[in-house]
Structure 1
């Protein structure tokens, strides 16, 4: 499932229908991870379990000029029942070239130094692959590497950001590649970006991808 043809890509209407059928909406504040149980005999369950461990599975959805790639993760309970869950997607802009969607914050995002002091740099845009910052006026040469913390306003947590300078976009804007030391950090940023994307496009009716409570406790 890691490689799909163009005919395997879900259009927005199809994903909306899938969302309605598979993911019942609970009262506000009780979001759950989108999931569904895979029915089958023990032989098929074992085969799917081995496939989930050995291969990268994903669901691809197309929304106008956006392509969302949702990783799929299999879980097996004590009764050998398999459950498949949607993880936060990678979001791409389609066109002449396909590239990671860059979120330009509608409200300023705070960058903090290791000591907790607010950095003078401001987030101009950010994606899963990189980010660009606006330098203060009359700032000297941009640092080759950045080690900062991004404050995620909705959950109040801090996300470490490590970046390597790519290029200077203009006199005050510099682009950096993102470097992740741990997969959990990339997943946390992916969830944040997906939530921001949903807020900007509520008409697309995309599913929620809230992590399990145990996963949230581990990443806290």
Structure 2
């Protein structure tokens, strides 16, 4: 090898292997959105996404998904439109958020990971249906952690809405920040994918 070479042969081989690695060259189709339709439409969508809440809605069977359009800046300071994690709704007498019915109830945990008396039976990105175990009274509000098996803990904050005919308590979720809401929507999307594989195929 020449003494004035910038890279060793091992370094060149490594770069070549990275360049030809098919796994590294696959784009994440779910995280980016190509807008074809002319500069005027693209500029309009970009302006709207910068100043307002812009969504794309898809309907199938008795459900609908609403994807937020987000402006993101890449490492080269170029701005792109990207689809966010969708909100999933189900149609009926009234449109409501899609609810995941858990096979087994999951206890909400405190900051130390200890389960309490509130057990989740159903969850959506807007609310939870809880069973109160023991002799505890249903709290007016709570700030705890939802920790389904196999997933990272998600902080949840709820406000009591009502008791249903089965003795379970409906709480409206009011997440503290966008990241918490995004994490809960991501979990719901993953569960929707398992429940309705034909939609996500």
- Alpha-carbon deviation of 1:182? 0.6
- Alpha-carbon deviation of 1:181? 1.4
Task: Return the alpha-carbon distance in structure 2 between the equivalents of residues 76 and 84 of structure 1.
Answer: 9
SS at match of 2:69: strand
Task: Return the alpha-carbon distance in structure 1 between the equivalents of residues 83 and 44 of structure 2.
Answer: 20
1:132 to 115, 129, 132: 129
| Greater relative CO (CA pairs within 8 A, separation 6+) | 1
1:174 to 169, 177, 191: 169
Task: Return the alpha-carbon distance in structure 2 between the equivalents of residues 92 and 38 of structure 1.
Answer: 25
Once the two structures are superposed, what CA deviation does each residue of 1:120-160 show, in whole Å capped at 9, x if it has no partner? Answer: 321111112111111225x24311112210114333x2111
Q: Which residue of 1 aligns with 2:4?
A: none
Q: Which residue of 2 aligns with 1:141?
A: 137
- Alpha-carbon deviation of 1:31? 8.4
Q: Which residue of 1 aligns with 2:64?
A: 67
Once the two structures are superposed, what CA deviation does each residue of 1:62-118 show, in whole Å capped at 9, x if it has no partner? Answer: 110101101112334476755332211111111221111111113443421133211
Unmatched tracts of structure 1, length 5 or more: 1-25, 207-220
Q: Which residue of 1 aligns with 2:49?
A: 52
SS at match of 2:162: strand
- Alpha-carbon deviation of 1:43? 7.9
SS at match of 1:116: coil
Summarize the Cα distance change of 1:141–1:190 in structure 2 as closer, same or farther, 3 Å threshold. Answer: same
Task: Return the alpha-carbon distance in structure 2 between the equivalents of residues 164 and 200 of structure 1.
Answer: 28
Q: Which residue of 1 aligns with 2:194?
A: 199
Alignment of 1:114-125 (within 5 A): 114-125=111-122
Summarize the Cα distance change of 1:201–1:40 in structure 2 as closer, same or farther, 3 Å threshold. Answer: closer
Q: TM-score, normalised by structure 1?
A: 0.68
Unmatched tracts of structure 2, length 5 or more: 1-21
Select the structure of larger CA radius of gyration: 2
Summarize the Cα distance change of 1:204–1:37 in structure 2 as closer, same or farther, 3 Å threshold. Answer: closer
Q: TM-score, normalised by structure 2?
A: 0.74
Task: Return the alpha-carbon distance in structure 2 between the equivalents of residues 148 and 80 of structure 1.
Answer: 38
Alignment size in residue pairs: 177
- Alpha-carbon deviation of 1:179? 1.4
How well do the aligned residues superpose, as a CA RMSD in angstroms? Answer: 2.9
- Which region of structure 1 is more displaced relative to structure 2, 61-70 or 71-80? 71-80
Task: Return the alpha-carbon distance in structure 2 between the equivalents of residues 164 and 109 of structure 1.
Answer: 18
